[in-house]
Chain A
């Protein structure tokens, strides 16, 4: 696989590092939460985001498994980066990721067999989750261990936030419950469509629409502030 591939498919841009600004540990951790949120901003890992979020419990378990694989692979990739030849690095990353996913899958099967069954093939499919390969290629493969783990933790939390958001909306509207606890009493007619596949597409569409609207407003406000400042300068 080529560099071109990972950029095109996994959006593995390392994130804009602003010149003249030192990158702090806090930034490594926090950028994944919102500014570079893997799902809401970078649009990576959409398959699990849509497929397993029909209940909050499924979302939590899926996010936990992905978090484990992401942090584990980032740690190992970062530790091994001196020993992995550049030509076979992506293959090596996938092997490392697949190993952690195998561990996660067996762990889930032993700990929460019910949910493991509900998630089906999607636990195994964490291997091809773009977020994980993307972080190895963009960050862990070229940064020190501490920063790579912080970056992975941040991205993992960002993914968890997105999954919880989707899972909450879909379970509350689609089943009238939250984590299985009934919210609205017996009079509530659940929107069954929300827990079915189309509901996933619609929920994510609304979430992304809201994100786009928020970003557009912020950009407009920043532009207006810039204009005001220019006017004030000219007046002075």
Chain B
């Protein structure tokens, strides 16, 4: 149990995918303009991450032991098909949710956080349960970073900022600040 909690908090705050490992920066910079879209993106991310964790566990346990050199190709195909299947299922079961998620769902295929999750999970030799906890923790971390960034950007809209600094440069400065803050969590787990 302690191990699982460790994995959860480690992936959520100490090694936050976005702010510490620079994974999934595209949505972080792209859809963090408004709080509600950020929340939806985070939810979609977490969902796909969890599904990926299960699929990767299956691949590692039953398929890739025999053909290790196909690892990368297998992962990317599985992720791409998984996102398509999830998209079709949601469209069938809940058209409302499908409309809400919109373009964010297919976008996740090329989100490097998902492939990174698959690779980390393999390298660290996580089992099914550990992988699931890792995925939920990472998803929560991504959502947390997105929400923080979106709230800050909504307030920044009203701030008096020189034109030249508006846009990506400003977002990156804010991200740097957030990343600095998250470094404070570094001692959280090592001391226990």
Residue among A121, A193, A212, A216 having the largest count of chain B Cβ atoms under 10 Å: A121
A162 located at the interface, meaning its Cβ lies under 8 Å from any Cβ of chain B in the complex = no
Instruction: For the complex, give the distance between the alpha carbons of A79 and B30 in Å.
Output: 33
Chain B residues with Cβ under 8 A from A5's Cβ?
103, 106-107
- Bound together, the chains give a CA A8 to CA B26 distance in angstroms of 10
B140 adjacent to chain A (CB < 8 Å): no
Alpha-carbon gap, A46 to B175, bound state (A): 13
Work out how many contacts link A and B, with CB atoms closer than 8 A.
120
Contact between B115 and A46, CB atoms less than 8 A apart: no
Q: Interface stretch among A92-100, A144-152, A174-182?
A: A92-100
Q: Determine whether the beta carbon of B76 is less than 8 Å from that of A98.
A: yes
Q: Contact at A202–B110, with CB atoms within 8 Å?
A: no
Q: Given A47-B23, A95-B77, A208 and B164 touching (CB < 8 A)?
A: no
Q: Is A130 an interface residue (CB 8 A)?
A: yes
How many interface residues does chain B have, given as a range? 35 or more
Known: A46-B25, A198-B176, A208-B169. A121 touches B19 (CB 8 A): no
Q: How far is the CA of A180 from the CA of B137 in the complex (A)?
A: 37
Interface residues of B, dominant DSSP: helix
Known: A50-B22, A50-B25, A98-B72. A201 touches B173 (CB 8 A): yes
Cβ-closest 9 pairs across A and B: A201-B176, A205-B172, A51-B22, A198-B179, A208-B169, A202-B176, A198-B180, A209-B169, A50-B22
Q: Which residues of B contact A (CB under 8 A)?
A: 19-26, 29-30, 69, 71-73, 76-77, 80, 103, 106-107, 109-112, 115-116, 119-120, 123, 163-165, 167-170, 172-173, 175-177, 179-180, 183
16 additional A-B pairs beyond A5-B103, A212-B169, beta carbons within 8 Å, are: A5-B107, A47-B22, A47-B112, A51-B21, A51-B23, A91-B80, A94-B76, A102-B71, A128-B76, A130-B26, A197-B19, A198-B177, A201-B179, A205-B170, A208-B172, A216-B164
